[in-house]
Chains A and B, each alone.
Chain A
């Protein structure tokens, strides 16, 4: 097939969050272009934050992305607390961990079961599965509901949480409510998750086999699977403090994307469920480890198509860790406490949290009036974009003998595997073939 000409241009890729186009251009067997164009209109959040007070920061940044709204709030609150020197209680920290679990759980279920699985079953959306695989769809819907209930109970609303504010919570759940939630997680949640895992295991053979080793970056803590807090971990160079985030992300502007790209020790790096799994798999619960085994996932895994599998492993972990956090809160007894909003200083605060799609950084500088002077947010999808482009450049020559349709499908699946959140990074995806 030497000398093949191939042009793909998928306009507005479907089943991803936001607007992006896949563009491939091959002339006489030479790959000139294989990239993901990000065409989402920029939203300029950094500019919006200027002059806002410390309570408004999290309210605004939450609106960067509805799906990761909780993660943006958490990171924002932590950055504000670091900047203003606000301490939070053990109870607040545990409730936040529950929220982070809930949102990871909800987003992973949505992506792995509703957006990615249809590809493995060869259909264009989850809707036809309502007729052919009703039990799975119902289990997946119940899981999603349960994940949302976690957010609704602890933060007032699953999308754009209400009661988590700098220094604590404006409203607390009752012991009874937490007990009921635990019941549901153990009885129904774990059961549905196991069922979904079994179904995924039965179609896992359809997951394309593509290997490209890259650098994996995630939050890491030696006490628990890194989600809410920890250092930054690179699979290439080890642990780094969050304050070094600019040296890690090295953002740069490329003409084909309204979202900035990033790189660290190689031409690109990966963030998200697979990066977390590769870096922190030893800290998973036993059940989650077994789930990985059942699904054929072993660290380090260098196949990006396996990201949805890693997400399902995390679903099991998040359910179990939420139960553990509830137990700890209940055994200490719920304390009625007000948010601590007495600033002890004004300055710069940098924070990181894992959101479902990967590591997120917020960096604010406050002036003496408690207003934001400068702000910067580095978003997971942006960090993955260069890695996606690099994957495509390796993948296209490997599958060039396949039909145009198959190549397009595999490229779309690849982009979808990363669960790109383009509103976050700005938005994303389109493919078209001319030979």
Chain B
């Protein structure tokens, strides 16, 4: 059997996910043995016609991005969204909370009409996404798991429990108990609670768990003196689209 053809594409993002993908220096060469990388603009010149697996980073935020993602989808068997920008619009979607005109004016002043821009959208708002790896940046071990599973023809596991679950497993002192704010109770895990493990609060970079209201999270936040509104406001840093489904552009 020939090796699967793999391609990487990036849209609007910071390329942190891109970089994280190269940060398995020890495993990188072994991974390369398993697949045929046919397109990867940041690292190589070649371009290809069809892909078995296409990894997409970044959110869709200009009219030309929309065309490009449709084209990639047509040529890909499996399409994976990598990182929060691609999965939910990520941090780019903060701008969706402000009127577009105002946002453009803040940066370009009177020259704002030169550069058309549209609200930042997740890839799934435009085309069908088969799998996703969340996080800002996407979690490297999770990416490795998805990559290997797909290459071996298996279904990767999907995580939908809160960061708190993983934080407890790591036996961290709860940052809420330290008097800090934390989004861990309502944020989807998969990162190994890396922020609380480093003494920082969870900033909700992986987006909300699907059952926010059922897991007692709200009670827990209230118990520590934080309102649901405060939590939602902070959560909007990475999840403006998921929390605010009003924007239906491109569907």
Show the binding face of A for B, using Cβ within 8 Å.
Answer: 12, 14-18, 39-44, 46-48, 50, 56, 59-60, 63-67, 69, 110, 114-115, 124-127, 130, 137-138, 141-142, 144-145, 148, 155-160, 162-163, 165, 169-171, 253, 255, 258, 423, 427
Contact = CB atoms under 8 A, between A and B. Distances in A.
A68 to B, nearest CB: 9
Given A48-B94, A60-B91, A63-B91, A253 B108 contact: yes
Interface of B: 11-20, 22-23, 25-26, 28-29, 32, 37, 40-46, 61-62, 64-65, 90-92, 94-95, 98, 102-104, 106-109, 111, 114-115, 117, 136-137, 194-195, 197-200, 203, 234, 237
B23 A148 contact: yes
A255 B91 contact: no
Given A12-B41, A159-B137, A64 B198 contact: no
B25 to A, nearest CB: 4
Contacts of B11: 41
A39 B117 CA distance: 12
Nearest to B105: A47
A124 B44 contact: yes
A12 B136 CA distance: 25
Contact of B42 (A16, A255, A258): A16
B32 A127 contact: yes
A130 B44 CA distance: 13
A418 B109 CA distance: 28
B65 A41 contact: yes
Contacts of A67: 15-16, 19
Contacts, number: 161
Given A42-B107, A66-B137, 7 more contacts: A41-B65, A42-B115, A46-B107, A158-B23, A165-B200, A170-B200, A258-B115
Contact of B45 (A124, A142, A157): A124
A66 B12 contact: no
B106 A171 contact: no
B20 A170 contact: no
**Which of B44, B65, B109, B111 gathers the greatest number of chain A CB atoms within 10 Å?**
B44
B198 A141 contact: no
A127 B42 CA distance: 12
Contacts of A156: 194-195, 197-198, 200
B95 A47 contact: yes
A124 B13 CA distance: 25
A258 B12 CA distance: 13
6 contacts: A16-B42, A17-B15, A66-B15, A110-B22, A115-B42, A160-B137
A65 B46 contact: no
Nearest to B45: A124
Contacts of B234: 56
Contacts of A43: 12, 61, 92, 95
Contacts of A114: 43
B237 A56 contact: yes
A44 B59 CA distance: 14
In the A-B complex, the 3 residue pairs with the smallest Cβ-Cβ separation, listed nearest first, are: A66-B16, A125-B44, A170-B199
B12 A15 contact: no
A393 to B, nearest CB: 22
Contacts of A127: 32, 37, 43-44
A250 to B, nearest CB: 14
B14 A65 contact: yes
B46 A125 contact: yes
